Amino acid sequence: MNQFQKKRLKKGFYLVSEGRADVLSKNLFIIPIMRDAGLYKLQIGIESGSQKILDIYEKRITLQQIETVVKECSKIDDIVVHGNFILGNPGETKDTFNESVEFAKKLIDLSNYKIDISSGYLAPFVGTPIRERPEEYELQILYDNFEFNKTAFVTPICKPKELTMDELNTLGIRFESEVTNYYKKRIWKLSKKRIDKKIRFDKKFGSNETGVIAKTWAKTFYRLLTLRRYYNLLDLKTSIELSEKSIKFEEAKKLCPLRVWEIEFDIEKFEYKFTSFADELVIIRDKDVYLWEMASGKNTIDDILNHSNCPFIKNDESLKYIVNFYTGLEDKFALIFREF
C-alpha cells in the first residue's frame, strides 16, 4: 500500500468516476493513478453489446475499447467497475438484445468477475435527438413527462419498431436473470483467497452511502445464508492465512478447526457428504470421518492428532495429511480456523 492509499484510508475519502471507453482505452496508465487518488468505483458507458446500436447512438466507441478498459481494470485491486446496458434501444431487435446479453457475459469473464452490470430501459430526455425526433429512430414514445415518473428506467418508456410490447416488457427480466445466473455459476472459478479479498474490501469500504459494494456480487454471495454464516464466524481482521502457514506444520498444530455447518451422516456407508458452492460433491469417509467430527473449534490440530481415538499414526506425515485435509475444507467454505 503506497502513501496515497494510506491517506485515502485514513481520511475515508472515496472517489466515484464516470469515464468514456474510447478515452480510457487510449490512456490506460491513468486508471491506477486514479485508484491511488481515491477511486473506488469506475463507471463506463456500455449501453449495448451490439456495435450497430452504438453506431445509431453515435457513441463513437467500439466493443473492443470497452473490453480493453474492463480487462485493464481487472488487473487493479480495490476498484469496482460498473457498466450499464440500455434496453429497448433504437433499432433494437431480438438479435441485438441477445448480443448485449452475450457481451455482458464476456465482460464478466474479462473482468475476472469484478465487474458490476446493471440495466435499464431507454429514457430519452427532453432536448436529445431521440426525444425530439423519435420517428427518425423508429421509436414510439409511450409516455410524456416521464421524467417525473419514478418508474422511468425500470419500465419501458418508448418502444422500438421491431419489438412487441410483450417482448419489450420481458427484456429487463431476461437480462437480469441471464447475467446474474451466469455470474453465480462461474464465480467459483475464483480462488478462495480472491473471494476473501473481495469480502474484505466490501467490509472496509462498502456502504449504502458510498455504493461501493457491487450489486451483482451481492446477489451471488450475501444471499447465500451458509456463506454469510461462514464470514460471520470468521473475523477477517484476524483471519488465519493457513495456506501460508500450512508449510510450517509446527505452527499449524496450534490452530483449532471449526466446521461451519452440520451435514448428514450416512451410517450404512459410514460417510459424510455435501455439495460445495461450486457444485462439487464432497465425500468424507474412512479416517476423515474422525477429522470432521473433531473439528468442533475446541480441539487444536495437535489435540486431534494425539487423541486416544485418533486413527492416524502420530508422525509428521499424518500431521501434513490432517492440515491439508482441513485446508481443503476451508477452501470450500466448510470450515474455519481459530487460534488456540
Q: What is the DSSP-derived secondary structure letter of residue 118? A: E
Q: 299 and 170 in one domain?
A: no
Distance CA 253, CA 152 (A): 59
Q: Report pLDDT digits (tens) over 170-210.
A: 999 999 999 988 988 888 888 888 888 777 777 665 544 44
Give the residue numbers spanning the domain of 284.
237-339
How many structural domains comprise the chain? 2
Q: Report pLDDT digits (tens) over 130-141.
A: 989 999 999 998
Strand 39-47 to strand 271-275: parallel, antiparallel, or no bridges (unpaired)? unpaired
Q: 297 and 259 in one domain?
A: yes
Distance CA 98, CA 121 (A): 15
- pLDDT bracket for residue 246 (50, 70, 90): very low
With a cut of 70, say whether residue 150 has pLDDT above it.
no
pTM (2 d.p.): 0.80
pLDDT recorded at residue 208: 46
Q: 122 and 258 in one domain?
A: no
Q: Report pLDDT digits (tens) over 100-142.
A: 999 999 999 999 888 889 899 998 888 889 989 999 999 998 8
Q: 201 and 86 in one domain?
A: yes
Q: 317 and 212 in one domain?
A: no
Could you give phi then psi for residue 112, rounded to 5 degrees? 60, 40
Grid cell at residue 77: 485491486
Residue at which a domain ends, from 223, 246, 274? 223
Q: What is the DSSP-derived secondary structure letter of residue 155? A: B
- pLDDT bracket for residue 261 (50, 70, 90): confident
Residue at which a domain ends, from 172, 188, 223? 223
Q: 180 and 268 in one domain?
A: no
pLDDT recorded at residue 273: 95
pLDDT recorded at residue 229: 78
Q: 300 and 215 in one domain?
A: no
Q: 131 and 166 in one domain?
A: yes
pLDDT recorded at residue 167: 95
| Coil, helix or strand at residue 158 | strand
Amino acid at 43: Q
pLDDT greater at residue 316 or residue 146: 316
Within-domain flag for 230: no
